[in-house]
Amino acid sequence: MRPPAPASPKLKLYSFWRSSCSQRVRIALNLKGLEYEYKPVNLLANEQSDPEFERLNPIKYVPALVDGDTVIADSFAILLYLEDMYPQHPLLPQDPQKRALNIQIASIVGSSIQPLQNYPNFIEEKLDSNKTIKWTQHHINRGFTALEKLLKGCNTTYATGNEIQLADVFLEPQIYGGVKRFGIDMSIYPVLARLHEAYMEHPAFLAALPEKQPDAPSS
């Protein structure tokens, strides 16, 4: 008699390899030790407009997470869901001030940097490539300047303590993308640069890197 086939992972993550929003969720899943099935959505081929994916997320953004009969879209919502359902390696501290700081940092990245850096995708016909990159760099630098001030004096291993928390999960994909895709000079952000080095030594962050995803280009 053949042994039963191994059960497929309960969780399914609809992701695009270089999406920083998807990267946040991959980091959190890794930290919490959760297995998941990777479901690639090629944004460059407009696969997010496929009716099957649109049923999961009507606004047609990645990531989306399927947990049994539950579907959650938007990285922030997914991370809060994971925090409630899978409390191992908590991402939000119990201390109210530290909890608020984590949410503030996450909000700066998720609301004041990432959406604006992607805005040129919609107006690229009106901007040449040089103006497009300057637009992106301006908004990333503006956000990084605020984050550097917010974290001034940080002497812990990670942004808000010696354990990885929500702020770190948002920070690293933004820093990584800023360096790799947009040529941000991190020497003017010493706190963020130090944190980036710490993240790049952690297995959960390394496994979530864009180039290590199954849908990443081979070269």
Question: Residue 142: which residues within 8 A CB-CB, separation 6 or more?
Answer: 112, 113
pLDDT 10s digits, 109-164: 999 999 877 755 555 566 667 788 888 899 999 999 999 999 999 999 999 999 99
The answer to whether 67 touches 13, Cβ cutoff 8 Å, is no
14-89 fold: Glutaredoxin (3.40.30)
Residue range 7-34: mean pLDDT, rounded? 93
Q: What is this structure's pTM?
A: 0.92
User: What CATH number is given for 96-206 in this structure?
Assistant: 1.20.1050.10
The strand pairing partners of 15, in sequence order, are 40
- In this prediction, residue 171 carries a pLDDT of 98
Residue range 17-30: mean pLDDT, rounded? 97
From the list 72, 92, 108, 98, the residue with the least C-alpha distance to 166 is 92
Confidence label for 34 from pLDDT (cuts 50, 70 and 90): very high
Confidence label for 177 from pLDDT (cuts 50, 70 and 90): very high
The answer to whether 26 touches 208, Cβ cutoff 8 Å, is yes
Domain locations in the chain as residue ranges = 14-89, 96-206
Residue range 47-56: mean pLDDT, rounded? 96
The dihedral built from the CA positions of residue 104, 162, 204 and 80, taken in this order, carries a sign that is negative
60/38 Cα distance (integer angstroms): 17
From the list 153, 135, 143, the residue with the least C-alpha distance to 175 is 143
Residue range 94-120: mean pLDDT, rounded? 90
| In the predicted structure, residue 69 carries a pLDDT above the cut 70 | yes
